[in-house]
Structure 1
């Protein structure tokens, strides 16, 4: 099995936003997006060689960050995961049913957060 660090993000995530696009959707500046990534309100990674850092489009919903994502990212980072690993985990089927990002987007974040906390132990 491929580790999260080695996951092919370009195959897991179907739509990416550069920081300018994410900023426009959120109604903030690209500098604010950078800050949001730094403080784990969002996560970013370079999905393909030569591309700049990108944010998965699924992290945003109706001009907002998906509910529960910042707290989940904090739990994962506290468990030693980097942004790339967080994104890979969120977009990998975890028998929730489905992927953790889908559960968050469907307001089923409690089980996702519980699993993330268990991983960090």
Structure 2
């Protein structure tokens, strides 16, 4: 039974890598909707595997793609989900990098309250 579970996990990991590669290639050729579809599949798989770092990276990618498409409301939604997930990450430098990225996003959209919140998080991590 455990072997079957391990095989499924390995298949999921291989599928994640294939989907991520396809999503990255699709976004490079400006097939953003196709890239979003693939990243949403990656997000479901990474969430099911409880891969928090992978989930965070995928949320960032989805938020960025929605921004590029001009859907700022959905972009903000996925960036907000990323911010909610950050407290559960243990790697300090990774959290700092994500918070810096998020600060840039919220500066672009002009959300001063969130920028202050992020600055507080960054101060606490430094």
- Give the TM-score normalised by structure 1: 0.29
* Bigger helix share: 2
Q: Which has the higher contact order (CA 8 A, sep 6+)?
A: 1
- Give the TM-score normalised by structure 2: 0.28
Larger Rg: 2
* Bigger strand share: 1
